[in-house]
Copies of this chain bind each other. A is one copy, B any other.
């Protein structure tokens, strides 16, 4: 799940999707989410798009890579290429930085999830660290750390993510609705539920309004401090 707010200063706020899904039905499904400099992430995604349609000698393409690991390499190299090009013009690389999350599956292998750094290297989610966050992540992290359970249903995971994003919404202007989501079910090799949840979504309103009371009840359920 990703929010859609980008900003260049407080008075220049726009809505852009930060989620991109590529698929070859029955063969591979890829989901890429982006955080950081919008010019960088848009350029990286455009390059990945172009190269997936280009003649074979101009690839490597994310639609061709033999494994998720190789796919992550292509995405990471493309990201570093864009950042290096920008910062090669006498400006600091940090200003053009971006971080990506890439998840997906290629037929014959299990689904894999990567966090890709602006330096062009990446790490993979494992059992001990089964999820990644990028961007303005601190406000929404405690509820994920506490309530995430690898055995939870997709429906409960949606609820948890909306609660987590709602916590960030309430605290930080750089994160904003609507939220894009993609639920990929392992071994289906086709995109799953995809959609967008806005502030006016009745379910989101129920969760957002109900969470304050639910938290207060949770606090009340703990014993009171005694001096």
A contact set with B: CB distance below 8 Å: 138-143, 145-147, 149, 153-156, 158-160, 162-163, 167-168, 170-172, 183, 193, 203, 206-207, 210-212, 214-219, 221-227
What 5 A-B pairs are tightest by C-beta distance, nearest first? A138-B138, A142-B167, A214-B218, A158-B225, A218-B218
Q: How far is the CA of A221 from the CA of B212 in the complex (A)?
A: 12
- Beta-carbon contact of A170 and B142 below 8 Å: yes
User: In the complex where A139-B139, A141-B171, A225-B203 touch, is A156 in contact with B219 (Cβ < 8 A)?
Assistant: yes
Q: How far is the CA of A187 from the CA of B99 in the complex (A)?
A: 52
- Beta-carbon contact of B225 and A221 below 8 Å: no
- Beta-carbon contact of A207 and B221 below 8 Å: no
- Beta-carbon contact of A203 and B216 below 8 Å: no
User: In the complex where A159-B225, A171-B142, A225-B159 touch, is A215 in contact with B212 (Cβ < 8 A)?
Assistant: no
* Interface SS of chain A: helix
User: In the complex where A142-B171, A145-B171, A171-B142 touch, is A221 in contact with B210 (Cβ < 8 A)?
Assistant: yes
- Beta-carbon contact of A219 and B139 below 8 Å: no
Kindly report which residue of chain B lies nearest to residue A208, judged by CB atoms.
Answer: B222
- Beta-carbon contact of B211 and A147 below 8 Å: no
- Which residues in B have their C-beta under 8 angstroms from that of A146? 167, 170, 211-212, 215-216
- Beta-carbon contact of A225 and B162 below 8 Å: yes
Q: How far is the CA of A171 from the CA of B138 in the complex (A)?
A: 8
- Beta-carbon contact of A221 and B227 below 8 Å: no
Q: How far is the CA of A149 from the CA of B215 in the complex (A)?
A: 12
- Beta-carbon contact of B163 and A219 below 8 Å: yes
